[in-house]
Structure 1
Amino acid sequence: MARRNEFKELVLPSTAMVAVQCSTVVGNILVKAASSKGMNYFVFTAYCYVLGSLVFLLLASFFKRKTTLPPSKFPLFIRIFIFELLGFSGQLCFYKGLQLGSPTLASANANLIPAFTFILAVFFRMEKVAFRSSSTQAKIIGTIASIFGAFVIILYKGPKVISTLTWTSSSSSSSSPLVFMSSESNWIIGGLLLVVTFLLISFGFIIQSQIMKIYPEEITVTFFGKLLGTMISLPVCLLVEPNLSSWRLTSSLAVVAVLYMGLFGISFSSLMYMWAIHLKGPVFVASFQPTSIVIAVVMSAIFLGEAIFLGRY
């Protein structure tokens, strides 16, 4: 019984969070590659929300979950709306930052999420701070290191650590890997946009924790979240991109990116985050973000031909 409880309380959530990081990195690489082929990230964001809503409508029907919120839980609706508004704003900042930077930069700066989440959890009294505790000291040191490391990779121009992979260079023209690289100014702007993104995500984790305390129904809450996100994103994205020809996905890579993120990437990660926050809290979920940097470095080098630098290139 003890082993079964340990598996449910620690092993299963930990495995799920690592799987989320893997799926997120794969999605980031697809989005980066598709945006280099001209995919509009406003269009991409709107499509992902629509597909996410359909996925969770099907899940709610399959698992026979209620598709109405309790009438007496008006603060719940407000929190879900704020959460999705932050999520939509964060996605726009993220995709623009990814377009100007790289998947590796995005994953490296994701180390800010545990730092921001810990600070916000302390501020909202969701995390106790005992300065004599080794656990608290480790969290404080980790927070400082995460913030310092993020700005190093944005601002410090360091030496090349890993060159572009030989097979990647030989399989295409000598300049092809560089289509995924950005100018120095774009790299810094992209990095700062990613910092804003991860601050918004950290706020989102705190709000998710409050939502789960009010109404612990992950599928139902996520369905309404995606539905509200669709209602927010479609008018805004149509206003920013009124040219309907831009809404046609002209490349197969763009179609794959939208389908992957809408049907699997965003939907899977949203549900797993909601479930893990309900089970273990926001700081636990945020602590797994650093694993994405290792995954991103390897995948970006293999699939994008991206050279790896200490700091920015």
Structure 2
Amino acid sequence: MSSGEIERESGKMDGRPWPWLDTSLPFLGMVLAVTALATNMIISKMAMSSGTSFFILSLYSNALATLIVFPFAFFFHRSKRPPMTFPVIWRIFLLAVFGYLAEIGSYAGINYSSPTLSTAMLNLVPAFTYILAVIFRMEEVHLGRFSTISKSVGTVVSIAGAFVVTLYKGPAILNKPLIAGSPIQLLLSSQQNWILGGILLAGASFLTSSWCILQASILKMYPAEMMIVAFYCLFVTIQSATGSLIAERDLTAWRIEADMGLVAIFYSAIVNIAFRLYVTAWCLSRTGPLFVSMFKPLTIVIAVVIGVIFFKDVLYLGSVAGALVLIIGFYMVMWGKAKEGEMNKDPESSINTSPLLLQDEPEQV
């Protein structure tokens, strides 16, 4: 059992006040993380539509995030900081490769299509993550158990619900649809190449799943979330600088003149990279990759809510119905994980596993 698990278990035994925070905080953290991601998709699309290169957007955002995170990381882990060894360094570098390729693929996919298609393709992340987690023995599969059946069926149901939100409209139940479309809809739907965008976004989803699996294993070796995020941002900055030098030969592309471009850079650096990556790493260390990936389909629901509230987009019956189906699937997975947690706490259990969402191989921090 890792030190983090021992501290959490000892806290429960010592009668720590508000023990429900141990399970509630990861849930709240991931809701905030996917909200940051959905908002970043919309802002980034608006910036790219105004002429900002997604290569330059990635470079400047990660460079600014590196400058922000590094001082906080050394201050946050000043008392006890594990030694940064070469095995940890090269794994973080590989993590940065996955993250940079996923980020560029996502930006390019949004540029060719729309944030709606991007959030729809994120529905593939839980399926990819579940398969990889089973392959790397981060998730147990016992076909005769209701917990495994609930996790598997819930994953499929949640993905189906998110696709319902994307593909089925139904009658409008809030705001009136405009024949010509709202300015934001016109902005986000111009010059679309859905096939190429879909391929790029599907590849980004697989890389995101691989990113979750790899980071979970790194957190086992190096239990310092902020330091991992700091070095991750540094490596992504180096990689994005190399990619930008190759892709953007015109020096004018390196100048950010549009106001929306500056907004996108600062929002992406502070909220989408620094804040979201730390929260995601924190949740990964306490729950596991499947729990984190299950929140990806919620991104499209949050994107719909943001559109309805701030851009006066039309709320359709399909969005509400799909959201309900998605929530049902999500809770099926959570129920299966909770049942596994109960079995793991049973001393008579024939399988020696860790507490809720933390499997024996690999052990989570």
**TM-score (normalised: structure 2):** 0.74
Give the AA of the match of 1:83.
Answer: L
Matches for 1:1-313 after TM superposition, within 5 Å = 4=17, 6-65=19-78, 70=83, 73-145=85-157, 161-162=171-172, 165=175, 177-182=185-190, 186-304=193-311
1:202-257 Cα deviation digits (max 9, x unpaired): 10111011101101011111111111111111011121102221111111111011
Counterpart CA distance in 2 for 1:89 and 1:290 is 20
1:187 and 1:308 mapped to 2: Cα distance?
23
What amino acid does structure 2 have at the position aligned with 1:35?
M
Compare 98-107 and 216-225 and name the one that shifted more. Answer: 98-107
Distance 1:262 1:240, change over 3 A: same
Any conservation in 2 of the 1:169–1:305 contact (CA below 8 Å)?
no
Stretches of structure 1 lacking an aligned partner (at least 5 in a row): none
Shift in CA distance, 108/37, structure 1 to aligned 2, threshold 3 Å: same
Aligned length: 305
Tell me: higher relative CO, structure 1 or 2? Use CA pairs within 8 A at least 6 residues apart: 1
* Unpaired segments ≥5 residues, structure 2: 1-11, 320-365
SS of residue paired to 2:238: helix
Distance in 2 separating the partners of 1:15 and 1:176: 29
CA distance in 2, matches of 1:278, 1:39: 35
3-state SS in 2 of match to 1:6: coil
Change in Cα spacing, 1:123 to 1:87, as seen in structure 2 (3 Å) is same
Q: Distance in 1 between matches of 2:121 and 2:247?
A: 27
Q: Tell me if structure 2 keeps the 8 A contact 1:104–1:300.
A: no
Q: Give how far 1:39 is off.
A: 1.1
Q: Deviations over 1:237-282 (max 9, x none)?
A: 1211022211111111110110011122111111011111111111
Give the aligned CA root-mean-square deviation in angstroms. 3.1
| 1:284 maps to amino acid | F
Alpha-carbon offset, residue 145 of structure 1: 4.3
Separation of aligned partners in 2, 1:109 and 1:259: 25
- Report % sequence identity: 35
CA distance in structure 2 between the aligned counterparts of 1:251 and 1:105, rounded to whole angstroms: 25
Deviations 1:165-205 (A, max 9, x none): 55x969x997663231156x712332232121111011011
Normalising by structure 1, we get a TM-score of: 0.86
1:212 maps to amino acid: L
Match for 1:31: what amino acid? S
Structure 1 residue 69: Cα displacement: 7.2
For residues 272-301 of structure 1, the C-alpha deviation after alignment (integer angstroms, 9 at most, x for no partner) is 111111111111111222222211112234
Indicate the structure (1 or 2) with the bigger Cα radius of gyration: 2
